[in-house]
Amino acid sequence: MAATHEVRVSVVPEGTPEYSATYKVLVIGDTSVGKTALLNRFNDGSFHSSLVSTVGIDHKNKVMSVEGESIKLQIWDTAGQERFRTLTHAYFRGADGALLLYDISKRDTYLNVQDWMDSVQTHAVGIQVVIVGHKCDLEDQRSVSTEEGSKLAENYEANFMEVSAKTGTNCSQVFTVLAEAIKQFKDKAATQESPQRSKVNTDPIVIDKEQPSSQTNKNNACC
């Protein structure tokens, strides 16, 4: 069920090589939704207002504490351009989790979440997803309400959070929420005889292509 979480972020200090597991995490979504900016903010705390669109695939590693265990996140920054979509598909295989980003100020990127979820459902097994409304600092340019983002995530039985790489809001927390979901899924699967398939809902999702006339529900907004 979609939810916004309050979490305590604990990153293992650099130089600590020991970790009990490695999780492959994808950061996906349309081009220019801020995937690289979010990853940079989480990885080293940096933010650059002008970034060139990622070409192909890049990845970073970070060890963090997840429910008392040291876990290595292998985070893949995937290109969102349509012409690289087939390359991205190859990297879905073996992925444990994904942050699926849209830009709250660009409604088309929200509408394309459905296409990205179709790719997840087609190419990934047992993958945990957090749908992320990015650039929540652009409140005056908002074209997707918090309620819409939360409802869409709920329909897919995915977690939801709004973040801002510019201000740092929820940037570490969203990775923690995803890592915790992966660990809980793996722990549950380990106790069962048969492998579990992806938790995401496969029923068709209908989303409103029209921009809401007002943004009155801000209960889950990050900014």
Pull the structure tokens for residue 180.
């915790």
- pTM of the full structure: 0.79
Looking up tokens 């923690």, which residue turns up? 176
Q: Where are the alpha helices (DSSP H) in the chain?
A: 35-44, 85-92, 107-111, 113-123, 146-155, 171-190
Q: Tell me the per-residue pLDDT of 164-213, one tens digit each, with 9 for 90 and over.
A: 999 999 999 999 999 999 999 999 998 885 555 555 666 667 677 777 65
DSSP class of 223 = -
Secondary element (H or E) of residue 203 = none
- The pLDDT, as a whole number, for residue 59 is 81
- The pLDDT, as a whole number, for residue 6 is 44
Looking up tokens 């652009």, which residue turns up? 138
- The pLDDT, as a whole number, for residue 165 is 96
- The pLDDT, as a whole number, for residue 83 is 61
Question: 21-190 adopts what CATH topology?
Answer: Rossmann fold (3.40.50)
* Low-confidence spans in the chain with pLDDT less than 50: 1, 3-9, 12, 216
Output the CA angle 51-54-59, nearest 5 degrees: 110
- The pLDDT, as a whole number, for residue 85 is 65
The Cβ of residue 87 has, within 10 Å, a number of other Cβ atoms equal to 13
